[in-house]
Amino acid sequence: MPKTTIRAGSNIAFIKYWGVEDAAINLPQTSSISMTLADAYTTTTVEWQSSSAQAGDQDDDIVIDGRTLRGEAGARVVRHLDRIRALAGTNQRARVASRNNFPMASGIASSASGFAALTVAACQALGLDMNATQLSALARLGSGSACRSLFGGFVLWDRGYDHETSVARMLFLPEHWDLYDLVAIVSHGEKKVSSEGGHRLAATSPLNQARVEHVKTLLPIVQEAIAQCDLEQLGEAIEWDALAMHAVMQTGSPSLLYWQPGTLEVIQAVRRWRDEEGLAAYFTIDAGPNVHVLCAAEDAPTVQAHLAALPSVVDVLVSRPGPAPYAVTDPLF
């Protein structure tokens, strides 16, 4: 059977996906908007075994960053392969190898790029004829944010109302705006609660509904800010939503507190540089302690140097807007 190797970029959300309406299909409570990343990606090779074994006879072989994936993380990938097997009407087992060019638990979503690359590679290797919208819906079942990584540049995930309609689409090409995402790493530790578990807790926070309502106002503002390449307008909105999402996390039951002291150090510093130096940089934070700082290309070297000089910052990862998933010629096995 032919092998297929696909590379997909991770993405950083400007308006977050947090909270599910229907956990069974990762139907979100709100639409969300992200930028696909060029420099933080997952490369995945998939080969389907030719012998059609009985289901359960033989396991899928899944290796990520050189290690065989077991436990719940492995089961999550197998469940996704099962969806693809069901679509193709096959029970072939898969060999999967995947590599991230960024450290897992770096504050960059490996599940977004991982499930996007896996979905495209696995479907292509089986010869399934699916367009990007259908692949986006399928990727969403593996990891919600993965549906946005099916597209390049600036992306909207329309909340929709069912499996077919809750899909992402591209708003603008990556070349539209040379916006930089600098990730200030303040901790390399694994997070204790996965986003998957966290989405179910959002509804337990009394602040959740207020955020959901306000996001409806912010979505067109963020779209317009991207259309105009207006960093100030974008920045104010993304900082609000990052803080609102973390307020929802922190006030749910049980409470999720992803921040470390370094998180607050970076937030305070970014605002200080804006106020005191006029440096146009704005932060956002996913479900972890590390801080993404967005700025224009010409300010990126200054922001990077400033971030690297902060006592709690151990590393700074730099990325620009990136393309939709694409085929690469070097398979991983």
The contact set with ligand DP6 (CB under 6 A) reads: 13, 16-18, 32, 109, 111-112, 143-145, 194-196, 199, 286-287
Name which of 4 and 36 has its Cβ closer to ligand DP6: 36
| Shortest separation between residue 142's beta carbon and ligand DP6, angstroms | 8
Specify whether the CB–CB gap between 303 and 20 falls below 8 A. Answer: no
DSSP annotation string for 152-210: -SEEEE---SSTTTS-EEEEE-GGG--EEEEEEE---PPPSS-HHHHHHHGGGSTTHHH
Name which of 99 and 191 has its Cβ closer to ligand DP6: 191
Specify whether the CB–CB gap between 38 and 174 falls below 8 A. Answer: yes
Name which of 126 and 222 has its Cβ closer to ligand DP6: 222
| Shortest separation between residue 129's beta carbon and ligand DP6, angstroms | 26
Name which of 92 and 111 has its Cβ closer to ligand DP6: 111
Matching residue, tokens 């959901």:
212
| Shortest separation between residue 232's beta carbon and ligand DP6, angstroms | 22
| Shortest separation between residue 214's beta carbon and ligand DP6, angstroms | 16
| Shortest separation between residue 145's beta carbon and ligand DP6, angstroms | 3
Name which of 144 and 153 has its Cβ closer to ligand DP6: 144
Name which of 23 and 53 has its Cβ closer to ligand DP6: 23
**Under 8 Å CB-to-CB from 182, ≥6 apart: which residues?**
292, 293, 294, 295, 300, 303, 304, 307, 316, 317, 318, 319
List helix spans (H) across the chain.
Answer: 71-88, 110-125, 132-142, 195-201, 208-228, 231-250, 261-277, 300-308
Q: How many CA atoms lie within 13 A of 79 on its CB side?
A: 15
| Shortest separation between residue 194's beta carbon and ligand DP6, angstroms | 5
Specify whether the CB–CB gap between 309 and 25 falls below 8 A. Answer: no
| Shortest separation between residue 2's beta carbon and ligand DP6, angstroms | 28
Specify whether the CB–CB gap between 137 and 28 falls below 8 A. Answer: no
Question: Which letter does DSSP use for residue 311 in this model?
Answer: T
Name which of 6 and 287 has its Cβ closer to ligand DP6: 287
Nearest to 219 by CA among 35, 30, 37: 30
Q: Distance (Å, rounded) from C-alpha 193 to C-alpha 37?
A: 24
Specify whether the CB–CB gap between 178 and 296 falls below 8 A. Answer: yes
Name which of 31 and 92 has its Cβ closer to ligand DP6: 31
| Shortest separation between residue 278's beta carbon and ligand DP6, angstroms | 29
